[in-house]
Structure 1
Amino acid sequence: MLDRQLALLEAEPLGGLRWLVPALVAAAALSGALLFMSVGEPLFAGLFFAGVVAMLVAAFVLDKRNGTVEAAPVAPAAPDYAMASAALNLTRDPAALTDGEGQLLGTNSAWRARYGDGIPKTLPSSVKAKQAIEALASQAWRDGKASAEIAYKSGRLPTTVERVGAASDLLMWRIARGQPDMLATLVKRVSGLEGYLFAQSGVMASAVDDDGRILAANSAFVERVGGDRAAVVGLHFGEIAELRDNALRLVIEGETAPPLRLVHVPVDTEKGEGAGLMLLIDTIEPSQPDSNNMLALLDLLPLGLALVDRDGRFLTMNKAFKVAGGIKEGHPPVYPGDLVIKEDKAAVADAVRRNARGPAMSGDLPIRLNAQPAEPVALTVAGLRGLGEAAVLLLLKDNSEEAKLKRQVAQATKMQAVGQLAGGVAHDFNNILTAIIGHCDLMLMRHSPGDSDYDDIQQIKSNSNRAAGLTRQLLAFSRQQTLRPQVLQLPDVVSEVSHLLKRLLGETVQLVVKHGRDLFPVRADPGQLEQVIVNLSVNARDAMAAGGGGTLTIQTYSVKSNQVAELGSDILPIADYAALSIADTGTGIPANVLGKVFEPFFTTKEVGKGTGLGLSTVYGIVKQSGGYIFADSKVGEGTRFTIYLPAHEVEAKATRSRAAKPQENELWGTGTVLLVEDEPMVRTVAERALTRHGYKVLTANNGEDALEILGQGETVDLLVSDVVMPLMDGPTMVREARKSFPDMPILFMSGYAEEQLRKSIDIDNVAFLPKPFSVQELAEAVRLALAEDAGK
């Protein structure tokens, strides 16, 4: 009976309670009566009965409600394994998707590149690894994710398995790319310079595979065993040397062969035997290794090697190990644990102890050195036998260059991100300044110098121009500023700014200017070069202020291509340059700071005395001008900044004087101008400015509106447009307009650099006006664009 009731409950969880309701009500009434008889209080019995009845009613209502709503059956969607295979390509490691039976359902391109184009029925494992794969899969089914290092046919590789899919019924396998082929590297080293250095020291070196076959040998080894390299390579090492009279001797030398000492450096970090480097050294007492010869031998190797005794103390270490471990001269460590941080000491000591007293083996251990606690490195610990007191071999790779490269890449990425941010802020700010400066110009047209508001308007315009200078600094740092390059001579630029420098430097600093002969002409923006000279000179003045003054030397000279080649710089291409050198006799820059001086917002000055944008602006101007800048400094002696600008070839033509700036009455004109600008404040001030100068102005909010106006048949003499706009940008709109009006002149406005825009725009017959601009600059640009079109 009880089994039948349980079956009904399982088949109908809530509905099965229906036949129990009367029975439970009766039971509740009986329980209330018993409670009343035992306690003697009708109130308690009544409350108990009411509570039980309320719960039964609630359960009945819930059962009715749940029974009325039945979800419509949904047919399961067919799995799209092609899409899953495409998603696996997001990882660079070989990855595959399998079902619960281990059948491959999809793979990525890295998997197929390693294991073939066809999809095998199972994972490409050896028989030895099958059990490990099954255990890893079982762990993933149980825990959701598992990882381990498995010996595949291609080597031991870290493998990660994770349950995926809507029903978590699939497994995603990801196999790491693995480490480089150390044996191939060893063969190359033995056959190259390292093998030659071993031979010069009288050491016979050879590389052997897992079976003991010789893959490569140096000249000392080849000459000692027969003199024919082709005959030696491929032989078993046991055919070359044999153990006789408790000493290792060469077979070819017969009974009189002298004893040799064998040093085996394995490349198999798991077994500590088999493939690796075999070193044969002549010795008289093979049981007592010569520490001096051993140290000299280890110093020849590019890897960091150290020998440790059975008590865990260092016996010796080579130069590469000292460099990689950050060991200072005169302060050698006693134990390997002295090299690492506190958290890694126990792991290093345990690994050394196990390899010293247990069976000979080897393995990699991730550690963090005291010299570089933020960058983990790999320490290989291998057990040694038959080398006297030496019981453990430590291998440590110098990762300083790799870490330096990583920092440089991170710094370059950060500089690029900051540059993009600075360029975007400056572009938006230029639109605001354009409106402010334009409205000031319009107000000045209605006020004469004697009016009460004239000075206030001039002050607003002056402050706006100062703000425009800050945006030019941001654009110079991000290399997006607008340059107006000219062919010039560096001495002329220095002469223009010399009178300003004398006031800036003060009386305590002596200015010395030297000019070389036959200087190459350069093509650059003279105003920006003046800013470079001023920024470097002001920094030099501040550096010499602590010493009470000094001498600032500005020198210009030519550097020919053969002189550049003699410099041996990896950065400066071989060509002709005009050089500008600015040197001071100040306190100098420390070596740890010198590499950061061109970074934005980096400054060593006190708070409120420097923004950190000066040298970064200088760097941006020089690089945008196609030049190079180098800093050289010694603490206590001074600093020198050298700028190299490429020589410009000037065509033979008559020198023309610079055209005089047009007067206000020369900027009036006639014609119809179509103005396209998405910023209302800029569009308003430009429309009013052009209208006041006699032009008929049509306005459009974006490129689509402009094309609609052109399609209405209105005659347009000039199209003035912003470059960056929503919906349709300026260049796209101009290309569409040129299809119907191929000869229409174009004037682009933008806060970005003209050079960058011209590279991206690639449209002929266009003029450019940088933001922010004044009313007079806008009128002059429009008049010039119409004049050039009329002169064709």
Structure 2
Amino acid sequence: MASRPATFSSPTAGQRQALIVAALCGMSAALIALLVLRSLEIAGGFAAAMLLVVATAFVWHRFSPAAAAEAPADVDWSVARTLAAASSDALAVTDRAGKLICANETYRARFGGYPTPPGLPLDGAGTADLASAGRTAWRDGSAQIDRLVARGRPMAVAVDRAGEGDDMLVWRFHDAAGLDIAANVQSLIAGSTGDRLAAAGIMAALIAPDGKLLAANRVLRERSMGHEESVVVGRDFARFLTADDKGQVRFEREGGKGTPLRILQIPFLEGDDAPILVALLDEEESGQPAIGASAAAHVKSLISLLPVGLALVDRDGRFIQMNDSFVRAALVDPNQPPLYPGDLVVREDKAAVADAVRKFANGATHSADMAIRLKDHPDEPVALTIAGARGLGDAAVLLSLKDNGEETRLKREVAQATKMQAVGQLAGGVAHDFNNILTAIIGHCDLMLMRHSPGDSDYDDIQQVKANSNRAASLTRQLLAFSRQQTLRPQVLQLPDVISEVSQLLKRLMGETVKLEVHHGRNLGPVRADPGQLEQVVVNLAVNARDAMLSNEGSGGTLTITCRAVTAAEVRKLGNDILPVADYSLLEIADTGTGIPPDIVGKIFEPFFTTKEVGKGTGLGLSTVYGIVKQSGGYIFADSRPGRGATFSIYLPVHTAGTPTATKRVEPRDKPADLWGTGTILLVEDEDMVRVVAERALTRQGYTVLTAEHGEAALELLATSDRPDLLISDVVMPTMDGPTMVRHARERYPDLPILFMSGYAEEQLRKSIDLDNVSFLPKPFSVQQLAEAARDVLAAAAND
């Protein structure tokens, strides 16, 4: 459709009516002025002014461009249709209402007209799949289907949301990948490539799943039909062949005196409906090549086509040929190809490889597998298969090497994850036991401080012990963060809010030589995480980035923090085996520092691993980051190029629904209040030092305290004593754990208030605590925190 030219237009009917009304109003005003004021001059002035206004409006409407007075009623699609006509794909555009706006000629030819997607003539459940793809595209911006069948023809579909207001869908239909490859192979066999194979004596054919020939090269047409110009397409391939009683296959036309054939099937496509590529070679007779000296050329041509890593070695142990798959698997430099197989392996394996090649070159007929270590990748052994190659010209040994790079990478990631999990469990157990010790130390310090006042000789020493204990407690929190067992306080929040809170601190930390840049994307979904722990993640990564940039001769650099939304469609395109397909909010922290060497990228999240000088790093920074991200349900990846900086990408899943919690947290108060109380408390704790401190602390606050060393002893006390006002219990204990003991106690006293205390994380314990109306106090805690927790639980029970 051509664009509309600009023209001059007369006033429309509505505009003429407006002019008439304006003229009448002007005349009426002049008449009123004449009757009321009895002044002919004033009345004439009103009339002249109105006539001037009307005349000016008329002239402006008469000579103004129509394009300025009237908006175009439709959109010019001529350029879009020209571009669509130049595409070999079938293209269509629909609007929000599902109306077909535009389609090219290829679309009309493929679907027999202009049906509106998804209502196309598709086989099977194709229409429903196409409708689902359209809904996905409206939601995520894009969608694709790898295979649909329309009127017997396979195709792939890509649907993208487009338009200035994202109010249109562009549907692109193109041949499926397998069909494209098959079509290319078919044209190659029937064309000049097939002629080159024919010149080498290789007969090639492409066969449909039903056994019909799709294409055949010149030598096969001549051998099967008697003339190279014969038409074989559409004929049954099996009818050209016959087999004798010895199982040898020949062309039926040549009869029993014809040369036996070797048939090789080359799998290049998957699926039951995929065509088959077949190569036919003349079989050897009497130990001599059936087709003369070209036998080696035939084998070399076939080896170069196969996807398995293969190489030919002569009787002197030198390479004759390596196909592309072998080059990739053996990490061969194409510019400096090796001369002998031993040149590929480490020094310790050279002799074993040379002996095996020599043995098979001297006539050994069986094959053997051996594990070797490549010179350029000595840490990962690979499997080398060696077999004798007889009757292949100069070739004497056939080597096969599997490209296991992807498999090796997956094994390394699994081993890393297993190691991290094992170390994390160890760290969690150590932190739990250490928290019990710190609880006793901090508690005894608090009790001693109650008997000393500032100025006493022992007061400062006790304060120093308590301060060091609190530092040790922060170390256990780092261990628990790494092991994903720390106690989190998750909230539903937006990543930009967290970055804004910590940006001022980051500017001070970065200094004057490091520039901080923050970028926030649109449509960020909320995430559920602990804001304080998330800030720690950002600070740890930023400090590491600063150190990397300042270590580069102190020149500084730029730290870039980016928040953006990542849709499920984008995750699917990434093809990451670890990252599940879902909607994420992405937090990227990139620097321009020295980068991370490739050999240590896989170790940076390990605990106590650091590249800093002694005394300048604990090695827990990145392991803490890793633990916080994983415990928050997210994923973290590191990408770095030496000398070009590093980028840490944190994917946090978009929060869609609230997660109920099984316990209530008892938060310590900022200011001490009146902690005196009354009542009976049953204290259950298997650690003697913790139980003694807790008993003394509660007794000093006015409570009557009964103690038990495990769950069974507590139940015996409940059976012989009056009902306590509060039950305080450790969670993990020998003989009977805390939750089991509480369930039995609740059978006797259903409304008994419960306060659990533990050195493990609350999130870990929720899985085993399926009880209502219980509170939680994390270890280590001070005497004041224990007293506050007991008072708050008792006050809440009294209010209920």
Alignment TM class, shorter chain as reference = 0.5 to 0.7
Cα distance in 1 for partners of 2:424, 2:565 equals 32
Whether 2:431 is the aligned partner of 1:426: answer yes
Counterpart amino acid of residue 604 in structure 1: T
- Given that 1:677 and 1:702 are in contact with CA atoms closer than 8 Å, whether structure 2 keeps it comes out as yes
Deviations 1:289-337 (A, max 9, x none): 2766654432321222112223332211111222333322222222334
- 1:186-201 to 2 correspondence within 5 Å? none
TM-score (norm 1): 0.64
Whether 2:603 is the aligned partner of 1:603: answer no
Counterpart amino acid of residue 553 in structure 1: T
Change (3 A) 1:589 1:390: same
- Given that 1:366 and 1:376 are in contact with CA atoms closer than 8 Å, whether structure 2 keeps it comes out as no
Counterpart amino acid of residue 603 in structure 2: K
CA shift for structure 1 position 683: 1.0
Change (3 A) 1:291 1:583: same
SS at match of 2:722: coil
Counterpart amino acid of residue 588 in structure 1: G
- 1:234-383 to 2 correspondence within 5 Å? 250-252=251-253, 262=262, 279-281=279-281, 286-289=291-294, 294-342=299-347, 344-358=349-363, 361-371=365-375, 372-373=377-378, 376-383=381-388
Counterpart amino acid of residue 412 in structure 1: A
Change (3 A) 1:242 1:462: closer
- Given that 1:242 and 1:250 are in contact with CA atoms closer than 8 Å, whether structure 2 keeps it comes out as no
Counterpart amino acid of residue 556 in structure 1: C
CA shift for structure 1 position 456: 3.4
Partner of 1:38: none
Whether 2:749 is the aligned partner of 1:748: answer no
Change (3 A) 1:355 1:441: closer
SS at match of 2:560: strand
SS at match of 1:611: coil
Q: Which moved more, 1:748-757 or 1:449-458?
A: 449-458
Partner of 1:490: 495
Counterpart amino acid of residue 756 in structure 1: Q
Whether 2:435 is the aligned partner of 1:461: answer no
Deviations 1:565-604 (A, max 9, x none): 4544443334333332222221112233223221222222
- Given that 1:520 and 1:577 are in contact with CA atoms closer than 8 Å, whether structure 2 keeps it comes out as yes
- Given that 2:510 and 2:546 are in contact with CA atoms closer than 8 Å, whether structure 1 keeps it comes out as yes
Partner of 1:74: none
Whether 2:681 is the aligned partner of 1:677: answer no
Cα distance in 2 for partners of 1:449, 1:564 equals 60
Deviations 1:85-122 (A, max 9, x none): xxxxxxxxxxxxxxxxxxxxxxxxxxxxxxxxxxxxxx
SS at match of 1:631: strand
SS at match of 1:362: coil
Whether 2:620 is the aligned partner of 1:613: answer yes
- Given that 1:194 and 1:300 are in contact with CA atoms closer than 8 Å, whether structure 2 keeps it comes out as no
Deviations 1:391-442 (A, max 9, x none): 3322222333334333333333322221111111111110111112222233
Whether 2:698 is the aligned partner of 1:694: answer no
- Given that 1:314 and 1:336 are in contact with CA atoms closer than 8 Å, whether structure 2 keeps it comes out as yes
Change (3 A) 1:196 1:786: farther
CA shift for structure 1 position 236: 7.0
2:653 aligned to which of 610, 632, 646: 646
Change (3 A) 1:382 1:278: farther
- 1:341-740 to 2 correspondence within 5 Å? 341-342=346-347, 344-358=349-363, 361-371=365-375, 372-373=377-378, 376-449=381-454, 451-516=456-521, 519-547=524-552, 548=554, 549-649=556-656, 661=669, 663-740=671-748
Deviations 1:487-527 (A, max 9, x none): 33333333433343334323322333344455433322122
CA shift for structure 1 position 387: 2.9
CA shift for structure 1 position 216: 10
TM-score (norm 2): 0.63
Cα distance in 2 for partners of 1:380, 1:557 equals 49
Cα distance in 2 for partners of 1:746, 1:234 equals 86
Change (3 A) 1:194 1:332: farther
Cα distance in 2 for partners of 1:358, 1:331 equals 30
Counterpart amino acid of residue 366 in structure 1: M
Cα distance in 1 for partners of 2:766, 2:279 equals 64
Cα distance in 2 for partners of 1:699, 1:334 equals 80
Deviations 1:518-560 (A, max 9, x none): 5433322122112112211110111011232122223334444
- Given that 2:372 and 2:384 are in contact with CA atoms closer than 8 Å, whether structure 1 keeps it comes out as no
Cα distance in 2 for partners of 1:216, 1:380 equals 34
Cα distance in 1 for partners of 2:512, 2:655 equals 37
Cα distance in 1 for partners of 2:239, 2:595 equals 59
Tell me the number of residue pairs that the alignment of Structure 1 and Structure 2 aligns: 574
CA shift for structure 1 position 710: 0.3
Gaps of 5+ in 2: 1-179, 195-201, 225-231, 267-276, 284-288, 659-665
- Given that 1:196 and 1:219 are in contact with CA atoms closer than 8 Å, whether structure 2 keeps it comes out as no
Cα distance in 1 for partners of 2:523, 2:572 equals 20
- Given that 1:307 and 1:316 are in contact with CA atoms closer than 8 Å, whether structure 2 keeps it comes out as yes
Partner of 2:60: none
Partner of 2:143: none
Change (3 A) 1:251 1:649: closer
Deviations 1:163-206 (A, max 9, x none): xxxxxxxxxxxxxxxxxxxxxxxxxxxxx999996995756689
Gaps of 5+ in 1: 1-191, 207-214, 244-248, 267-276, 652-657
- Given that 2:681 and 2:726 are in contact with CA atoms closer than 8 Å, whether structure 1 keeps it comes out as yes
Deviations 1:203-239 (A, max 9, x none): 6689xxxxxxxx9999768997788999849987558
Cα distance in 2 for partners of 1:343, 1:586 equals 39
Change (3 A) 1:493 1:660: farther
CA shift for structure 1 position 645: 2.1
Counterpart amino acid of residue 362 in structure 1: H
Cα distance in 2 for partners of 1:608, 1:233 equals 81
Whether 2:790 is the aligned partner of 1:786: answer no
Cα distance in 1 for partners of 2:359, 2:278 equals 24
Cα distance in 1 for partners of 2:212, 2:300 equals 22
User: What's the Cα RMSD here?
Assistant: 4.2
- Given that 1:629 and 1:641 are in contact with CA atoms closer than 8 Å, whether structure 2 keeps it comes out as yes
Partner of 2:32: none
- Given that 2:435 and 2:780 are in contact with CA atoms closer than 8 Å, whether structure 1 keeps it comes out as yes
- Given that 1:627 and 1:646 are in contact with CA atoms closer than 8 Å, whether structure 2 keeps it comes out as yes
Cα distance in 1 for partners of 2:600, 2:215 equals 49
- 1:32-111 to 2 correspondence within 5 Å? none
Partner of 2:125: none
Counterpart amino acid of residue 778 in structure 1: L
- Given that 1:382 and 1:393 are in contact with CA atoms closer than 8 Å, whether structure 2 keeps it comes out as yes
